[in-house]
Amino acid sequence: MERFVRHRRLRRNGTIRRMVRETVLQTDDLILPLFVAEGEGIKREVPSMPGVYQLSLDHLAEELHEIKQLGIPSVMFFGIPAHKDDVGSEAYREDGIVQQAIRLAKETEPELYVMADTCLCEYTDHGHCGVIRDHDVDNDESLKLLVKTAVSQAKAGADMIAPSNMMDGFVAAIREGLDEAGFEHIPILSYAVKYASAFYGPFRDAADSAPQFGDRKTYQMDPANAREALREARSDVEQGADLLMVKPALNYMDIIRQVRDAFDLPIVAYNVSGEYAMVKAAALNGWIDEQQVVLELLTGLKRAGADMMLTYHAKDVAKWL
């Protein structure tokens, strides 16, 4: 009698491996972040994110059509306004750049599910996610502007609001604002667990949103903390979040798993810009097999407990699957 288990029996060929596979990545799991820039004729590759472009509205319809054809269900818009000010006015202007992008998307590809990132950092001249008082972001004053932003995005036709600002009480405030404006049917994807991460570096190039003084550590979370992630998530669930985000993704798979186990809402993992940049840099050097690495990485996020992944790799993945 054998004294050990022959695990390899279930790995003998591709068919049985497929049959016992526990996690299967699908195009339906993907959300593609898009940077829309105010202006004309802009199709500017982000230097630290090869394959990712800032697009002006005149290039957007074509891009959205391709995304739809690839079967990617959803996009999330980030805006790059022509003008910034200290209160981020362009974030909540009726025809701000994201509001226009949302309208265009719903006109040209109505089935594409449009998410709007709700934050001020791309719109403030100081680069912080809210308004400044005494050299720090004022929580409750910022909430008012974030509510205005979310409502203007919903008015433009956004299917889902995704607040990423990390102010306390943002889910409750935005929920109330949306409900009062008649958008009680619009869900909130809360960036509930968002760490103060160096992996956002390339995004800040892409969105021109690096803080001009200080850092985001008074509102984004300390990467050393896990229990705090559960407190953040619990608050947002209590305030009415419909989905929870964990961000970044790769260094935080333990957090994805813990949030998955503690709550029954859908979980979204944000495979952020710096994670993308590392893979791209290695792939461009011929040091890794990009396709295998990306599929392994996203499958890992799903195995850790994510239902959906926001990823700049979405178009490539849709082609590979």
Binding mask 229-258 for ligand PBG (x = CB under 6 A): ------------------------------
Q: Which stretch binds ligand PBG (CB under 6 A): 179-187, 199-207, 221-229, 278-286?
A: 199-207
* Of 84, 148, 194, 302, catalytic: 194
Please measure the distance between the N-terminal and C-terminal CA atoms of the chain and give it in whole angstroms: 43
Residue with tokens 């209160």: 87
- List, in sequence order, every beta strand (DSSP E) within 159-300: 160-163, 189-194, 243-247, 267-271
- List, in sequence order, every beta strand (DSSP E) within the chain: 30-37, 43-46, 49-56, 74-80, 113-118, 132-133, 136-137, 160-163, 189-194, 243-247, 267-271, 308-311
Q: Whole-number minimum distance, CB 78 to ligand PBG, in Å?
A: 7
Binding mask 128-147 for ligand PBG (x = CB under 6 A): -x------------------
Q: Is 238 annotated as a binding residue?
A: no
Q: Is 107 annotated as a binding residue?
A: no
Give yes or no: 43 in active site: no
By CB under 6 A, is residue 203 in contact with ligand PBG?
yes
Give yes or no: 194 in active site: yes
Q: Which stretch binds ligand PBG (CB under 6 A): 87-95, 114-122, 135-143, 261-269?
A: 114-122
Nearer to ligand PBG, 31 or 151 (CB): 31
- Secondary structure percentages of the chain, helix, strand, coil, to 5: 45, 20, 35
**Size, binding site for ligand PBG by CB under 6 A:** 10
By CB under 6 A, is residue 153 in contact with ligand PBG?
no
Give the tokens for residue 143: 């909430």
Angle ∠(14,31,232) on CA atoms, nearest 5: 110
Whether the CB-CB separation of 34 and 75 falls below 8 Å is answered with yes
Amino acid at 51: G
Q: Which stretch binds ligand PBG (CB under 6 A): 18-26, 58-66, 197-205, 279-287?
A: 197-205
Whether the CB-CB separation of 153 and 102 falls below 8 Å is answered with yes
Whether the CB-CB separation of 114 and 187 falls below 8 Å is answered with no
Query: What separation in angstroms does the CA of 157 have from each of 114, 150, 307?
Result: 8, 11, 24
Nearer to ligand PBG, 8 or 34 (CB): 34
Annotated binding site for Mg(2+): 232
Active site residues: 194, 247
Annotated binding site for Zn(2+): 119, 121, 129
Annotated binding site: 119, 121, 129, 204, 216, 232, 273, 312
Positions in the binding site for ligand PBG (CB under 6 A): 117, 119, 121, 129, 164, 200, 203-204, 272-273
